Structure 1
Amino acid sequence: MESNEFFPPREGVTLAALAEYLGAELADESTGKRLIHAVAPVSRAREGELCYILSRKNRIELETCYASAILCDKALQSIIPAHIPVLLSSRPHTAFAMAGALLYPSAMRPLATVASQPDVSPAAFVDPSAHLEPGVIVEPMAVIGADVAIGTGTRIGAGAIIGAGVKIGRNCSIAAGASILCAYLGNEVIIHNGARIGQDGFGYAPGPRGMLKIVQIGRVIIQDHVEIGANTTVDRGTMDDTVIGEGTKIDNLVQIGHNVRIGRHCGIVSQVGIAGSTRIGDGVMIGGASGINGHITIGSGAQIAAMSGVVGDVPAGERYGGVPARPMKDFLRDIAEMTARANSRSKKTGDTQ
């Protein structure tokens, strides 16, 4: 790929300085003055670029690699071509993430829609009762409602809507087109484009003339360092709060129902649906396109495989998968048995033809 005008290479950092920043070991200290300007995939990395490998499966990609450095575990050092300097790390994936953040700080948050403007655009609407600390940026066409409070360093993107009474902490990024209603956000929260936070949840009671709407009078509480992806929706609580715990990362196109409580440092991948009043512990990982039933508990440290249907409680630390979701060893055994039966039927069909 040619030079990217959206995220151009930076001036450069020496390998020696990069190694110190990452807590990595530079295998050949004589290469310490080489400059790293950018990151790239192994197969097409060129001079001035950094890449990483996690497995010997990458060996064939090294044949076309001319990076100025490769991050890897010591166990993989022997497969790196002699012309490429090596940065040794016991956690190369984490180290590469740190390097990317250092080289591309602007890519760590939603990009500003307007590069240069007054702190509060004259094309935005800010209610006179709203309190904005110094250093808050409000882009054109954003709407800030009555009694809103926003902390210093926060950016409100173009066309975003911040509803009455919402409180947003410091150094947050609310991207273009997002809406935040009936919610309190902590510090360093990132909300991507088009996310919907705090709309009423899906609650109805059957009546003689059809479905009767149940009022949704709770809030959404989003703690520090949470990131919520584009077009994700987080419903406010019915009478309690919907809570997203500190450090949790939520992908694009996720639906989180009313009264859901998600713990700290969880990872929830795209197209997951979590029904109302579910309780999710700390450090839970949920794979893409999974469906989580309401009023159940997923214990801390549990892992849910992609495209699973979770209908009951999941114990802490367990790995579940399948529809309905069950312990991973049972799921894999069932898959193996179904595959064996399918192969047997196919063989029998072939023998009779």
Structure 2
Amino acid sequence: MMTTREIAHLVNGRLHGDADRTLSDVAPLDECGPQEIAYVASEKQLPALRKVQPGAVLAHGDLLPQLPDPAQTPVITVDDPQAAFIEVMLRFRPLPQRATIGVSPNATVSPTAKFGPDCNVHPGAYVGDRVVLGARCEVGPGAVIGDGVILADDVTIHANVVLYHDVHVGPRTTIHAAAVIGADGFGYRLVDGRFLHIPHTGTVVIEEDVEIGAGTTIDRAMIGKTVIGAGTKLDNQVMIAHNCVLGKHNVFASQVGLAGSVTTGDYVQCGGQVGVADHAQIGAGAALGGKAGVSGVVPGGQRYAGQPARPEKDAVKSYIAMTKLPEMRIQLKTLASQVEKLQSQIDQLTRFPESRAA
């Protein structure tokens, strides 16, 4: 339990209204009750706020005139309502503290593996030959750390992740359950009517502060490296093919798929189910809307949508035109019928002098 006065002090905010209102938890705005606190980030959320009776609200000071009467609903104004809300949330709902279990006797660990201080290897995990783990690494149950893998400091590998041999993972990276990093790329040669597998002798390099979602797959390079740039965040079930090189701070939503040898600049954003053809180049700061289809070179600093991907404004115009096609089809049939009638009348007029002459 916390009072509104305590919360305002915690977030360095300004309290408007009852300082002794007692709150027990945080809640989404549209579900917030009399003993809970929510936050309002923009005017768009005000209609939702009017439908509930929250115990208190975090908001930017600019919104204060549009908020409920603070005498009824205390308001704490801050510069960044979402950041303040997260701070309050973690006070009400502290994250579990990291346990110290060391290397479980029920894990399978090569005698040649090396561990930094304060590492945890959970039961059922496998750690191969010549593996190096930095300080404070976490290897979850059932995870497989292949031969020659290097984990830098503070890497978290969740349950059932598979890191194939010689993958490198940078510091403070988190890889969520069932992700597979370093499998061979989808490369084959057609020889005498049969597809023959191309060996992939490269690796995957994941730079620092990366987060990789559950079930995501990142293939190793045929030669060289598949690279995931620093600070990049990949959602669940993303596919990155062999020899792709992602820039720093890319953000990809679920089911994005990159074919082989794609390159991206820094701060590229991909909505859900974006598909990128092989050898495409996406410039820094490009933002691709959901289901966009990308090939060739996409200049940076713009928003794109559609299949094939094109500037968002053009894609919207095309979409609007597509919605009008049924109406245009009817109009076209009507015009075609009218033209046919006019042509028939013209034919009659041009034949009339001939019949008179006869």
Question: Under TM normalisation by the shorter chain, which class is it?
Answer: 0.7 to 0.9
| Deviation of 1:140 (Å) | 0.6
Greater C-alpha radius of gyration: 2
CA contact (8 A) 1:149 1:165 kept: yes
**Cα distance, 1:16 vs structure 2:** 2.5
**Equivalent residue runs for 1:277-296 within 5 Å:** 277-296=261-280
Alignment partners' CA distance in 2, 1:75 and 1:260: 44
Aligned length: 332
Given the alignment, which residue of 131, 135, 139 partners 1:148? 131
Identify which of 111, 117, 121 aligns with 1:134: 117
Q: Distance in 1 between matches of 2:276 and 2:22?
A: 47
Distance 1:243 1:12, change over 3 A: farther
- 1:26 maps onto 2:14 in alignment: yes
Tell me, yes or no, if the aligned pair for 1:280 and 1:300 is still in contact at 8 Å.
yes
**CA separation of 1:102/1:162 partners in 2, compared to 1, >3 Å: closer, same or farther?**
farther
Change in CA separation of 1:155 and 1:213 when aligned onto 2, cut-off 3 Å:
same
Q: Say yes or no: does 1:41 pair with 2:25.
A: no
Residues 14 and 34 of structure 1 are in contact (CA less than 8 Å); yes or no, is this contact kept in structure 2?
A: no
1:279 alignment partner AA: T
Partner of 2:9: 17
TM-score (normalised: structure 2): 0.84
Offset from partner CA, 1:230-255 (integer Å, 9 cap, x none): 00000111101011111111000100
Over 3 Å counting, the alpha-carbon distance change for 1:348 and 1:37 in structure 2 is farther
Equivalent of 1:237 in 221, 225, 229: 221
Runs of 4+ in 1 over 4 A off after TM superposition: 9-13, 33-37, 97-105, 343-349
Letter in 2 for 1:184: H
Letter in 2 for 1:54: A
**What is the CA RMSD across the aligned residues, in angstroms?**
2.9
| SS of the residue 1:78 aligns to | helix
Q: What is the distance in 2 between the residues matched to 1:146 and 1:26?
A: 57
Rounded Cα–Cα distance in structure 1 between residues aligned with 2:85 and 2:267: 22
77-86 or 340-349: bigger deviation: 340-349
For residues 141-185 of structure 1, give each alpha carbon's deviation from its aligned partner in whole angstroms, at most 9, with x where no partner exists.
000001111122111100000001101112221110111123111
Counterpart position of 2:353:
none
Structure 1 residue 89, shift from structure 2 partner: 4.1
Which one-letter code corresponds to 1:321 in the other structure? A
AA paired with 1:134? P
Alpha-carbon displacement from aligned partner over 1:312-338 (angstroms, at most 9, x marks no partner): 211110111100101111101111112
**Distance apart, 1:117 and its partner CA:** 7.2
Map 1:53-72 to 2 at 5 A: 53-72=40-59
What is the CA–CA distance in structure 2 between the aligned matches of 1:96 and 1:214, rounded to whole Å? 51
Query: Does the CA-based 8 Å contact 2:3-2:21 persist in structure 1?
Result: no
Residues 86-120 of structure 1, C-alpha deviation per residue, up to 9 Å, x if partnerless? 3334543454445545654527xxx98xxx67311
State the TM-score, normalized to the length of structure 1.
Answer: 0.85
* Other-structure match for 1:86: 75
Q: Over residues 254-296 of structure 1, what are the superposed CA-to-partner deviations in whole Å (9 max), with x where a residue is unaligned?
A: 0000111111111100000011111111111100011011111
Identify if the C-alpha distance between structure 1 residues 99 and 289 changes in structure 2 by more than 3 Å, giving closer, same or farther: farther
Structure 2, unaligned runs of 5 or more: 334-358
Aligned to 1:190: 174
Q: CA–CA distance in 2 between the matches of 1:312 and 1:252?
A: 26
